[in-house]
Amino acid sequence: MKRLRIILLCSTFIYVLLFINLYKYPYKEFTSIEGTIKDITYYENKVSFVINNTLVNDYNFKSNISLGDYVIVKGKSNLPSKNTNFNMFNYRNYLLSKKIYNTFTLDSIKIKNNTNIFYKIKNIVINRLNKIDNHYLNTLILAKNDLDDEIYSSYQLNGISHLFCVSGMHITFFIVVLSLMLNKIFKRKIVSNILISIFLVFFIFFTGMSPSVIRCSLFFIIRSIFNKRISNIDIILSIMCLLLFINPFYIYNTGFIYSFTISIGLILFPINSSNYILSLFKTSLLCLLISLPITINNNFSINILSPLLNIIFIPLLSFILFPLSLLTFIIPYLNRYLLIVVKIFETISIFCNKYSINVIIPHLNIIYISIYYILFFYLYKGFNIKKLFILIIYIYILSNIKFLDSSYKVTFIDVGQGDSILIEYPYNKGNILIDTGGSTSYDIGNKVLIPVLKSKGIKDVTIILSHGDFDHMGEATDLINNYKVNKVVFNCGEVNELENNLIEKLDEKKILYYSCIKDLNIDNDILSFFYTKMYNDENENSNVIYTNINGYKFMFMGDAGVEKEKDILSNYNLPNIDVLKIGHHGSKTSSSKEFINKLNPKYSIISVGKNNRYGHPNKEVLNNLKVSKIYRTDQDGSIMFKIKNNKLKIETCSP
């Protein structure tokens, strides 16, 4: 049997690897599509629904649709984007795991009636949930995360967000309740099992084919058919391999990975304890350890108190919140009491956030992950304090792996229409963030910058602001509130309202800040600030920074324009530049031919938003830059220059 398991796992792994690498993405442009609506999600700014492996986005709320409706949609197809920053969420792969190959922007829609009885039943349930108006019902019953971002973030920080994914605990609850009811009605257990299996098949459809629901449901169905003739580990491995053969891109689905990893871990290492609290703690600790690399590569941090917090939250959700949610669905009057329980649950979570002990661990490659699991499986046999200590030491090394990195890295982060440049010095001797970007429509600070910093194992940073425009410093406050900032450097010139607000926050946090400095010394590496004169324009007063990194010359222009470029040429004897961050996103107000010819850059970097309303970069500027290799964040995503042993390596994160 062990040999069969190995053959099955190896053949599945080879199949998935070959399929993913040889797969040709089936994208093609089209202007109309028709089919049956299989899923609908409502957001603040749009409605999204799925038809024929396509995700349709309605930004103008023109559609008045229901599940099962047959629709004819006109508009424009789009290629789903990949991650444009290293180690971040890959939207295209996520959609592939759901067998969605295209996105589509809706212009007009024609709707026909829904004739599918299953969709009609689901619509009745959805309408009932909408009338009750409690987001936890959608999350716990429909398996659709409808929770407030801030609240859900607190659950993630506490390591309890898994409780809100419909999975083993929820399915087990249904099975136990149905078994108690049906066993009183039917004498033969096989009849009860058949009826429960039918319910579970319907529930799989009802929750949108969630991998965790499929796993739990199929496990019960197979177990009820074969009784004890097949071991639990063989059942779970067979289900996993079956799903991967059906859709190899499940490997990109976080819910799928968590669900099967934890299930396999719990089967291989059963917890035996008559004490409920002790058993709960051991199970939570085991789940944390077995899924640790997955958690790290998704959140880049772990809360070491999460096993203790699970002792509080699992009973609250299992015995109060989830059962009360089901009762509220049946008796909507109970919603007033459910809201009280929800408020208590959220308050406890937010309170626990204040005392959480979060350890930042950078993105792990396959080698580090393999070493971790080899250690884990070796140490878990005959587990004791000494062996646990070895595992803790390895986790500690991973959290501080940056101290062993001997390379310089300069990364131009994709923040859309804005600037943000990260300089990392060897052995974690310093981390400089030049500008933070800024957006009114997207939380760049918490959803881009902080995850990028954490994914690199950076625990503190010094911020240099080129100048006071929102697209260069708009996210500075979020960073100061949510990350460790050592100090902040401002440019010369008058202080605007945005900078004043930031200074107030710096004073409140007792963070040092400076302005109009000449240079910054990072372990004998000098960042030189080119000061010429005071201008009446915020852009011209930008900090222009020059540095020599291990023999490679970098220059960062902020939004400095042609006038400052002339003054720099007059005041400084500049060498040829290896890497030039182009001023003002490639606007025609910067990067004059004279300036570019003098600097003669090998590589020119333009930080610019895709399809931006300013028309950046300007064609004349691009023509001036032909002497160099041009990289653009709208086309290349994040761009990283890695210098090690006097050798330069360039990596991009093409969208």
Phi, psi for 131 (deg, rounded to 5): -70, -35
Alpha-carbon torsion, ordered 405, 426, 422, 617, to 10 deg:
-100
Query: Residue ranges of the domains in the chain?
Result: 2-115, 135-363, 367-399, 407-652
Q: Please indicate whether the domains covering 2-115 and 407-652 agree at the CATH topology level.
A: no
pLDDT at 506: 95
The DSSP-derived string for 573-623 is -----SEEE-GGGG-TTS--HHHHHHH--SEEEE---TT-TT-PSPHHHHH
pLDDT tens, residue by residue, 290-331: 999 999 999 999 998 888 888 888 888 888 888 898 899 889
Q: What is the CATH number of domain 407-652?
A: 3.60.15.10
The residues, ordered by sequence, that sit 6+ positions from 130 with a Cβ below 8 Å of its Cβ are none
Q: What is the mean pLDDT of residues 109-123?
A: 80
pLDDT at 383: 60
The DSSP-derived string for 36-77 is E--EEEE-SS-EEEEETTEEEEESS------TT-EEEEEEEE
SS3 202: helix
Q: What is the mean pLDDT of residues 6-18?
A: 88
pLDDT tens, residue by residue, 545-580: 999 999 999 999 999 999 999 999 999 988 899 999
586, 621 Cβ separation under 8 angstroms: yes
pLDDT tens, residue by residue, 156-202: 888 888 777 767 777 888 888 888 888 888 778 888 888 888 888 88
CA distance 540 to 134: 52
Q: pLDDT category, 382, cuts 50, 70, 90?
A: low
pLDDT tens, residue by residue, 197-248: 888 888 888 877 888 888 888 988 888 887 777 888 889 999 999 999 999 9
**pLDDT mean across residues, the chain:** 89
pLDDT at 144: 76
Q: pLDDT category, 416, cuts 50, 70, 90?
A: very high
142, pLDDT greater than 70: yes
Q: Give the predicted TM-score (pTM) of the model.
A: 0.90
pLDDT at 166: 65
Cis status of the peptide bond prior to 617, with omega within 30 of 0: yes
Query: If we measure between CA atoms, which residue out of 254, 355, 341, 241 comes closest to residue 309?
Result: 355
Percentage of the chain surpassing pLDDT 90?
47
Percentage of the chain surpassing pLDDT 70?
99
CA distance 389 to 8: 34
Q: Which of residues 456 and 326 earns the better pLDDT score?
A: 456
Q: What is the mean pLDDT of residues 391-401?
A: 92
Q: pLDDT category, 431, cuts 50, 70, 90?
A: very high
Among 173-177, 215-219, 467-471, 475-479, where is mean pLDDT lowest?
173-177
* Residue 82 CB-density burial (10 A; 0-12 exposed, 13-18 middle, 19+ buried): middle
Q: Which of residues 1 and 281 earns the better pLDDT score?
A: 281
143, pLDDT greater than 80: no
Q: What is the mean pLDDT of residues 342-346?
A: 90
Which residue is it, tokens 């240079």? 519
The interaxial angle of helices 189-206 and 211-226, nearest 10 deg, is 160
Q: Which of residues 179 and 472 earns the better pLDDT score?
A: 472
366, pLDDT greater than 70: yes
How many CA atoms within 13 Å lie on the side-chain side of 322?
Answer: 23
pLDDT tens, residue by residue, 53-82: 899 998 887 777 888 888 899 999 988 888
Looking at domain 2-115, its CATH class is mainly beta
pLDDT at 18: 92
